[in-house]
Structure 1
Amino acid sequence: MSVQDAILDRVAALAPPPEVLLSREIWWRDHQPWFKECGYLLRPRYAPDWVPSWEGTNKYPMDCEDNVPALGGRVLDATRVSDGALVLLKKTLVSDHPHEIEIGTFFSSEPLASDPRNHCVPLYEALDVPDDPNMKVLVMPMLRALDNPPFETVGEAVEFFRQIFEGLQFIHENRVAHRDCMGPNIMMDPKPLFPDMFHPRDQRKNREWTGKAKFYSRTKRPTKYLFIDFGISKMYKAEELSVLEPPHRGGDRTVPEYQNSNEPRDPFPIDIYYLGNMIRRYFFQRFHDLEFMKPLVEDMIQDDPSKRPTIQKVVARFDTIWQSLGSRKLRSRLVACDEDLFTTFFRNTGHRFRTAYYILARYRAVPTPKS
């Protein structure tokens, strides 16, 4: 037995059996009746009288939906009783994140909510936890990682860039600095690609846990990308032309302004850095064929924040860049940096057939969703 196998066996031996709730799940179970009163059903695992569905049967726990524990203690999925929609519940402490609900409500209210440039996750409501006045539970749509499933074409990547630049422009124009808009805090609306959705705990499976979740490509079913997690965001008054904030480091710790410095900084150029560095990490380090974006991204991640373009300039430059690309380039396949020759040949062959179908069926090279 290898050392790695021995470690895995040891971890498995220490893990509680699937019929035992983890400590991070107890709070959700204890509040399940309250969530039901509010109109949200938690999965059967969190019912106070839960009996594992495999007990007394010949089923293995791994084949049952209710064997899967929550991934973390702050968030959990639920079903909205009124329409059966899958939603996300997120616990937040008002003392730690005093502006999150205010900003979420601001962007989720009219007329901003109906603005097609609004790429902020909708906040359906904020529930007051009855036994903790400092805690709220935010109700939002269930989203999916921005790159799952992977991007297939240059045009799909271009549409992602267009939307996140447009979205940050909308945020900044409304005098809000996100302050943590790195990769995991930009997600995808999965409903166009996954019309039947998926299981929130194992997103490879369908919602019923009976097989794989079926999905479409972004080209066939264009989707929308959304900024999430406004926990450390700040909103400023229109008359505040210049703002400075002390370091409040988000998930991306490479921001040049915060290296060996605690001086207050302008948060808006930091947002520009976050987006540029996210594109570098998520796209340049994974795919070829995006060289047309590199000059813009290099300007966005300059060490000197005064040399970074504003989001208005980013949007204007990007608009010129992508409109100069021909249809052949936009429909070309994104080639992964780690592909071998056999994989490249195999994927290119399949891509040619798909592209021919997309062209004949009049699917756009840049798949922009309908407003």
Structure 2
Amino acid sequence: MPYSVWQTTASRLISPTALSFNRACRRTCCVGRTLPSRSSSSASSCDEDEVNARISPDWAKYRCHIERRGYRLDTVRDVKDYYLHHCSNIEKQGLHVYLSGYHRALARSDEDALCKDVGLRESLFRATRCLDGTKVMVKAVHRDSRELDIVQYLSAPAQQRDPMNHCIPILDLIDAPQDDLCFIVMEEWSANMFPETPVSLGSLMESLRHCIEHIAFMHRHRIAHFDISPRNFLTDYNGRYACIDYELSRRIDVSCPRILYSRGSEIPPEAERGRLSNPFMIDVWALGVLIFRACELAEFHVPELMRLAKPMLHENPDKRPPAASVLKEFQRIQATMSKTQHGRHISP
């Protein structure tokens, strides 16, 4: 089946909005080491919406605190150096035209001033590890947030040893207890799933393997991600893919959970209708959409993947397969693909 015909078929299963992919989107966040716990009475008194809301810290206030832990927040000098190095073929005037997000920074005279990437959310700031120059991302969260709780759990040694755990590498957690904040420091990877086209079938399958494995791993630990999308799986372009953004994630403690859901990148039909849904099946729906999106991005038609994703997008959430079953079938598909197929390239 030609790719164009496959694309038409896919659009019948998920909406055109779900199939669209914003290649310019850049979002990053993730996990770290254990912090001292606050008292249960203090934690219980916190308003849940408040502690789980996005943080907009005064980054200048915490600059020295973060530097004492070995990380330097980006300054005007860092930004200028980066863009002059990576955009050396663009004229000076062109930098202001094509890199409008950094226009103000490039025009500033104080090169030691902090330079926030306007393309990032207020809770995120680019930085550099002083020890070796490694580029990192720093995310501010509330100390009692669900995100920090889940990040600490997923980055604990026992979970890190599991080969199915594909959280992005966490370098540090910087506590700011006086303001009930924590700064999560993680490696900065790329939000573009594939470095260039044409893409090999093997690369597509490996990227999907990491995505499916991680969601199956999370579900095994009774955690729903709630915001599965291509932009929340990053790559280091060395064959590794990692999950980020646990802002909406929740621990699911009950055996037969049902929740109301209205956030995230992919909203399943039952949620659009305002009905209660199994949180794990919400993730399965979004994972099915991700499979189609990845194939669209790589411009591949893989009939086996279409058959895998179709039941994941069933209107009835109770008829969608669990993530563990999706992974098992994916592993079977990957194992049966020949080496010739894995090396095949399709031009865009």
Q: TM-score, normalised by structure 2?
A: 0.68
Is structure 2 residue 193 aligned with structure 1 residue 147?
A: yes
- What is the CA–CA distance in structure 1 between the aligned matches of 2:233 and 2:65, rounded to whole Å? 30
Is structure 2 residue 279 aligned with structure 1 residue 232?
A: no
Deviation of the 1:156 alpha carbon: 0.8
- What is the CA–CA distance in structure 2 between the aligned matches of 1:139 and 1:288, rounded to whole Å? 35
Over 3 Å counting, the alpha-carbon distance change for 1:88 and 1:43 in structure 2 is: same
* Aligned AA (1:267): P
Aligned-residue CA RMSD in angstroms? 3.1
Aligned to 1:43: 74
Residue pairs, 1:260-339, within 5 angstroms: 260-261=273-274, 263-284=275-296, 287-336=299-348
Aligned to 2:65: 34
Q: TM-score, normalised by structure 1?
A: 0.64
Deviation of the 1:180 alpha carbon: 1.1
Deviation of the 1:122 alpha carbon: 3.5
* Aligned AA (1:251): S
SS in 2 for 1:111: helix
Runs of 4+ more than 4 Å apart? 63-66
Contact 2:261 2:277 in 1 (8 A): yes
Over 3 Å counting, the alpha-carbon distance change for 1:148 and 1:129 in structure 2 is: farther
* Aligned AA (2:126): D
Aligned to 2:271: 258
* Aligned AA (1:303): E
- What is the CA–CA distance in structure 2 between the aligned matches of 1:225 and 1:317, rounded to whole Å? 20
Deviation of the 1:278 alpha carbon: 1.4
- What is the CA–CA distance in structure 2 between the aligned matches of 1:139 and 1:166, rounded to whole Å? 24
Deviation of the 1:125 alpha carbon: 3.1
Contact 1:284 1:290 in 2 (8 A): no
Aligned to 1:350: none
* Aligned AA (2:124): V
SS in 2 for 1:226: strand
SS in 2 for 1:79: strand
- Among 232, 243, 262, the alignment partner of 2:257 is 243
Gaps of 5+ in 1: 1-23, 194-221, 337-371
Tell which structure's C-alpha radius of gyration is larger: 1
Contact 1:89 1:137 in 2 (8 A): yes
Gaps of 5+ in 2: 1-54, 85-90, 107-114
- What is the CA–CA distance in structure 2 between the aligned matches of 1:307 and 1:36, rounded to whole Å? 51
Residues 193-238 of structure 1: CA deviation (Å, up to 9, x unaligned): 3xxxxxxxxxxxxxxxxxxxxxxxxxxxx4211111111111134x
SS in 1 for 2:65: helix
Over 3 Å counting, the alpha-carbon distance change for 1:309 and 1:150 in structure 2 is: farther
Contact 2:270 2:276 in 1 (8 A): no
* Aligned AA (1:32): R
- What is the CA–CA distance in structure 2 between the aligned matches of 1:318 and 1:146, rounded to whole Å? 22
- What is the CA–CA distance in structure 2 between the aligned matches of 1:99 and 1:315, rounded to whole Å? 26
Deviation of the 1:85 alpha carbon: 2.2
Aligned residues: 267
Contact 2:295 2:301 in 1 (8 A): no
SS in 2 for 1:138: strand
Residue pairs, 1:179-190, within 5 angstroms: 179-188=226-235, 190=236
- What is the CA–CA distance in structure 1 between the aligned matches of 2:297 and 2:92, rounded to whole Å? 40
Between the two structures, name the one with larger relative contact order (CA 8 Å, sep ≥ 6). 2
Deviation of the 1:306 alpha carbon: 1.2
- Among 213, 218, 225, the alignment partner of 1:178 is 225
Contact 1:25 1:69 in 2 (8 A): no
* Aligned AA (2:172): E
